[in-house]
Amino acid sequence: MTAASPTLSKSGGAPLAEWLRDATPAFLFALRLWASVCLTYYVTFALQLSDPTWAVTTAAIVCTPVLGASLRKAFFRMIGTVVGAIGIVIIAALARQDRVGFLVGLALWCAVSAFIATLLRNFAAYAAALAGYTAAILASDVLGPVGTTSGDVTFLAINRAIEICTGILCAGVVLALTDIGHSRRKLAAELAYLSTAIMDGFADCFRIASSDLTQFQGLRRDLLRRIIALDPTIDAAIGEASDLRYRSPVLQRAVSGLVETISAWRKAAYEIALNHNSVTEREARAVYNELPRDRLSPDASGSAKTPAELRAACCSAVRSLTRFNAQTPSERLLADSAAQGMLGMARALNGLVGVVDPPDMIPVRGTARLHVPDWLPPTVSALRVLLAVGAMSLFWIASAWPNGALAITFSAIIVVLLPLQGDLAYSQSMAFLKGCVLGSGIAAALVFAILPRATTFPTLCLALGLALVPLGFMLARAKNPLFFFACSVNFLPMLSINNTISFDASQFWNSASAIVIGIAAGAVAMLIVPPLSPAIRTQRLLALTLADLRRLARRAPSRRREDDWESRIVARFLAMPEQAEPVERAMLVAAMAVGNHIVRIRRVAPRFVPGPAVEAALQALAEGRSGEAAERLKDIDRQLAALPRTRPGSRAVLGLRAGLLVICGQLAWYPSYYDEPIR
């Protein structure tokens, strides 16, 4: 028994110690959430602000378990709050003493905010949504009990904006003083991992020269998922390190560079598998010898080469591969694919340099462009907002409910904010509703059992901690945190704590019921007008890409539109639903490669073959006749092959023939896609 004691103690204590270690970050976040709310109450009481409710609610909203995300969220919330306050002042000025006009203006403002929020991504989308429901928050104060505008709207808007910004600043101070953050390190580690993994897989494709197309498919799909997940990581890092905000174009170029490298990898793998023989293996090996051998460690430190040095090696490889003395179109295709892949890797590594060693970063000219993958989802979001806000306004007018304006506010919050959850919008709205119901129960317990005994500010803070600390802990630990987020945020406005605290049961239940009913109405609107299903969104993205590809083949676009081709397709690729099939993602990547080579053929081919032959082949592709287009492209290839090798421009001829190989190969691989009629 004595000998067994240490073993028993170890086996019983280890899980507890491990659990405590894992739970510590969640507990610290719960304390930060509690401290943020308490500090906000203290500041609003000291400044004698008229209503601390929205200040403390905002302080709870901007708190997230990740420091960078919290600060970024706070920054964009300030922007959205100011824009929303300006919007409500304009609406009130245009619809002075006109209840119907005011409500119509509010519905249109919220609809436009939802439209823009669906177009944008991450915290920029959050700011647009904030501009909508901040106006709804202010509207609940501007509208009187019977629906007439009351008071000085401009003064009220400024006052509410100050209260909300106070909550943002208090939460930011608490978070900045208690958390040093790790978003920048996380972004650097993820970029280093993706760069290393993609370079390894890309090089192995040439080294192994396998005839099995599926050998690297699983790895590429996993890497593509992680590339898509980079966007929120970049946003969190920008929130934590303000200097990264000015390098946003470099970081966006890094993401597109990773996608371009995987596209080149797939193109090379297809060519090797299609013509697998000893000659292809020798050609692939010759290209492999031009690729860099050095790699990064997963945390971008302790490697033989720094990110800047490896970027230089990739650029050197691009130059050598461009001058590569290929003897066949297939070898030229492999060399060009490798050059494209190394150029993409150089862009990705430049983004990594911008994170870990900014002085050595190569700046990118211009700003990151916004590309709209599909206009239909934001239109659906706007129509849903009009339906929800309009229905709640009619209900309020018909019923003359004193708290109807508050119900309109929370209905607008749901239909403007939760569509950013995508396919989970309705299920998340139901989770939000359930969390609000639980929050109303917690608020009732505090109002009627605990807060009347809290006669000093320290006891008030302790009473709030009874709810905020457990809810914050569960919020940080939950797999689906929205339920606990709704609970921890929505019980605060139900308390209605001011400098002079009074506990009115009827007022409490009216406010609580208005919040719950407004959220329920928003959930019903999400059910009646749901977001587009993943299947529909995927098919639309593929159809829009095919339509753009056919326009590219039909006529010569402007230089800017040609240069913009890849970034537009990358935007659609990043917008693909997680439920999309791998073959559908592959179609999008293949279309990007076909479009790139169409641009090159249109520019260069008329120098060596008759222009009408090129236009006829591209016109067949534009009209959805891929078989005929492939035959015409093969005729052009035969004409190019007949040209003497000693003629000037022979290197360009070989590059053209490699591009024709790519297009014909992709047309043969996905004929049903390229021949599909566009509805």
Q: Which residue has the higher pLDDT, 297 or 162?
A: 162
* φ and ψ of 327, to 5 deg: -105, -20
* Same domain flag for 301 and 191: yes
Domain count, the chain: 3
Report the pLDDT value the prediction gives residue 501, as an integer from 0 to 100: 64
CA distance 53 to 303: 52
Q: How many beta carbons lie within 10 A of that of residue 42, not counting itself?
A: 15
The pLDDT > 70 percentage for the chain reads: 87
Q: Do 252 and 222 belong together in one domain?
A: yes
**Does residue 561 register a pLDDT over 90?**
no
CA of residue 391 relative to chain centroid, distance: 31
Radius of gyration of the chain (CA): 30
Gap between the Cα atoms of 600 and 656, Å rounded: 8
Residues 6 or more apart in contact with residue 239 via CB below 8 angstroms: 67, 68, 69, 70, 71, 72, 73, 74, 75, 123, 183
Both 52 and 157 in one domain: the answer is: yes
Sign of the dihedral defined by the CA atoms of residues 180, 186, 189, 192, in that order: negative
Query: Does residue 586 sit in the same domain as residue 486?
Result: no
Contact 253, 370 (CB under 8 A): no
What pLDDT score was predicted for residue 304? 61
- What average pLDDT score do residues 38-54 get? 86
Summarised one tens digit per residue, pLDDT across range 384-435 is: 888 888 888 888 878 877 777 788 888 888 888 777 666 777 888 888 889 8
Q: Looking at the structure, do residues 287 and 194 belong to the same domain, yes or no?
A: yes
Lowest model confidence (mean pLDDT) among 4-8, 423-427, 489-493? 4-8
Residue at a domain's end among 339, 360, 381: 360
Let me know if residue 3 belongs to a domain. no
- H helix runs in 47-182, sequence order: 53-62, 67-94, 99-119, 122-142, 153-178
Kindly state whether residues 263 and 377 are assigned to the same domain. Answer: no
Residue 564 confidence (pLDDT) above 80: no
CA 537 to chain centre: 16
Question: Helix (H, G, I), strand (E, B), or coil: what is residue 143?
Answer: strand
Please check the confidence at residue 4 and state whether its pLDDT lies above 50: no
Residue 303, pLDDT > 80, answer no
Residues 167 and 73 in one domain: yes
Residue 1 lies in a domain: no
* pLDDT given for residue 261 in this prediction: 92
Instruction: Pick the range with the lowest mean pLDDT from 97-101, 352-356, 452-456.
Output: 97-101
Assess whether 89 and 193 both reside in one domain.
Answer: no
Q: Is the domain of 478 the same as that of 564? A: no
Same domain, 171 and 190: no
C-beta of residue 464 within 8 angstroms of C-beta of residue 37: yes
The whole-model pTM stands at 0.74
Lowest-pLDDT range of 21-25, 162-166, 266-270, 602-606: 21-25
Residue 82 falls inside a structural domain: yes
Q: Are residues 333 and 412 in the same domain?
A: no
- pLDDT at residue number 294: 80
Last residue of a domain, one of 528, 544, 568: 528
The answer to whether position 366 is within a domain reads no
Residue 558 is predicted with a pLDDT of 59
Mark whether 218 and 349 lie in a shared domain. Answer: yes
Specify the pLDDT at position 9.
41
Within a domain: residue 47?
yes
Token pair listed for 628:
């005929």
Residue 589 in contact with residue 263, Cβ under 8 Å?
A: yes
Confidence of residue 178 (pLDDT cuts 50, 70, 90): confident
Residue 6 has pLDDT above 60, yes or no: no
Q: What confidence tens digit (pLDDT) does each residue in 204-262 have?
A: 888 887 777 677 878 888 888 888 778 777 777 776 666 666 677 888 888 888 988 98
Query: What sign does the dihedral 496-524-377-593 (CA atoms) show?
Result: positive
Torsion of CA 175, 252, 259, 538, to 10 degrees: 80
The answer as to whether 107 is a domain residue is: yes
Average pLDDT over residues 476-504: 80
Residue 53: inside a domain, yes or no? Answer: yes
* Domain range for 101: 27-181+373-528
What gap in Å lies between CA 363 and CA 133, rounded to an integer? 37
Domain assignment present for residue 11? The answer is: no
pLDDT at 319: 92
Residues 6+ apart with CB under 8 A from 414: 388, 429, 432, 518, 519, 521, 522, 523, 525, 526
Write down which residue in 490, 511, 528 finishes a domain: 528
